[in-house]
Amino acid sequence: MDDRLHDLVNTEPGWLQPGGPEGDVVISSRVRLARNVAAFAFPQQLATDRADELAAAAGDCLRRSKLNGEVLEPRSLCTAAADFIVERSLATRDLMSADRPTQVFFCNGGLHGVMVNEEDHFRIQGLAGGLDLDLAFERAQRLERRLRDSFDFAVSERFGFLTSCPTNTGSGMRASVMLHLPALARAKAHMQRALQAARVASLAVRGVHGEGSHALGHFYQISNQRTMGVAAQVQLKAVADFAREVSTYERETREQFRDEGDANNILCEDLVAAVDLLRLAETLTTAQALDALSVLRLGSLLEMTSALGFECSPDRLLSLSFKLQPGHLQARSGTEMSPEQRDVARAEFLRTELGFAS
């Protein structure tokens, strides 16, 4: 694995620290700002030499920013390292696989970051643990100010910040929250109503790695869709208010599994099955492992796992849900693995971490 990722591999993500607001449901908050440089074409139309020029200038600016961060060129990374970067929410798969010259900057355990030459010249992001979009916005703005000192952003007096995709024009801001919703996912009708309410409120619902990804392990991202004609603070409040509403709904649904006989019995059966799977399986896919940890986190939050002889805190189960992903497994081992090898390593890793190893 790339030595430049060593510190990141061996520390928890800054946005995954326990104790954040609404942290039993809301895992993290992120604000991403799309900005483009007036003198350059959008990345998809940008000639290679101009993309190189912009990436080099951005790298110099970020290294001088005194934020003590790391600048990486995705094309210099192996596939496993690229997967790790995506799993840490530092970059998108589109950036990591782009043919044009691109860069990734991150600092402070991933709480600040910039993608250079993704869909826009700069995708600036700030993250925070739990439901704290204001702090995430503040962190993104801090980086934006550093870049604004060196680059003239493309802005229209009428439309606001100009972006490659018209749906981002205006504030250029995407505010998102990552939620773990195992109770709502079990009560399928409740989940459908919650997702429909999000869409009615002009919010997008996606999997944990954004557009095109699936909600593995019952992790969801909810973000604003309107960026034009709406002030940034209004957009932040809309996402935060909905996250609080869904958090309350998730907690109420949890209690139904504690109090209702049939629902409680089914959950108990699933908890036993999850423990048995993690204890006995010789191979585990990412989806199998995430689903098992998800139901166990629900049981732990409801204080139902001790009766099974299984002791693991919700925060610990959440941490393991990220550490078992392909890039993380390979980053810790220092080697690239086939999917089959990863499934074996994942099962062994979880048996060890959960105290099941003989």
Residue 276 lies in a domain: yes
Same domain for 218 and 78, yes or no, is: yes
Tokens found for residue 342: 């990863």
Name the domain count of the chain: 2
Residue 358 lies in a domain: no
| Dihedrals phi, psi of 185, to nearest 5 degrees | -65, -35
- 123, β-bridge pairs: 34, 115
Same domain for 224 and 184, yes or no, is: yes
Higher-confidence residue of 202 and 288: namely 288
Residue 26 lies in a domain: yes
Domain hosting 291: range is: 261-353
Task: Specify the pairing of strand 160-161 against strand 122-129.
Answer: unpaired
The residue out of 253, 269, 300 marking a domain boundary is 253
Quick one: pLDDT band at residue 5, thresholds 50, 70, 90? confident
Q: Exposed, middle or buried, 106 (CB in 10 Å: 0-12/13-18/19+)?
A: buried
Q: Which pLDDT score, from 0 to 100, does residue 247 have?
A: 95
Instruction: Give the whole-angstrom CA distance, residue 134 versus residue 178.
Output: 15
- % helix, strand, coil for the chain, step of 5: 55, 15, 30
pLDDT over threshold 60, residue 311: yes
Instruction: Give the whole-angstrom CA distance, residue 256 versus residue 274.
Output: 20
The residue out of 194, 225, 253 marking a domain boundary is 253
Instruction: Give the whole-angstrom CA distance, residue 96 versus residue 73.
Output: 9
Dump pLDDT digits (tens) for 140-187. 999 999 999 999 999 998 999 999 988 888 999 999 999 999 999 988
Tokens found for residue 56: 């080099």
pLDDT over threshold 60, residue 213: no
Torsion of CA 247, 220, 18, 10, to 10 degrees: 180
Instruction: Give the whole-angstrom CA distance, residue 111 versus residue 123.
Output: 14
Dump pLDDT digits (tens) for 26-41. 999 999 999 999 999 9
Same domain for 83 and 157, yes or no, is: yes
Residue 315 lies in a domain: yes
Q: Which residue blocks in the chain are alpha helix, DSSP H? A: 6-9, 48-63, 79-87, 93-97, 133-148, 182-186, 188-200, 232-259, 261-280, 286-301, 314-323, 326-333, 339-353
Q: Residue 73 is part of a domain; what is its CATH number?
A: 3.30.590.10
Mean pLDDT of the 61-65 span: 88
Same domain for 301 and 215, yes or no, is: no
Dump pLDDT digits (tens) for 333-351. 888 999 999 999 999 999 9
Residue 213 lies in a domain: yes
Residue 324 lies in a domain: yes
Q: Which pLDDT score, from 0 to 100, does residue 240 have?
A: 95
Same domain for 150 and 205, yes or no, is: yes
Same domain for 209 and 306, yes or no, is: no
Same domain for 120 and 241, yes or no, is: yes
Q: Which pLDDT score, from 0 to 100, does residue 212 have?
A: 46
Q: Which pLDDT score, from 0 to 100, does residue 248 have?
A: 93
Same domain for 296 and 154, yes or no, is: no
Mean pLDDT of the 247-252 span: 94
Same domain for 31 and 174, yes or no, is: yes
CA angle centred on 321, ends 320 and 326, rounded to 5°: 100
Residue 185 lies in a domain: yes
The residue out of 221, 253, 285 marking a domain boundary is 253
Same domain for 204 and 87, yes or no, is: yes
Same domain for 241 and 154, yes or no, is: yes
Q: Which pLDDT score, from 0 to 100, does residue 202 have?
A: 82
CA distances from 83 to 18, 88, 96, 209, 301 (A): 24, 9, 9, 11, 30
Percentage of residues in the chain with pLDDT exceeding 90?
65
Q: Using only C-alpha atoms, what is the Rg of the chain?
A: 21
Same domain for 195 and 73, yes or no, is: yes
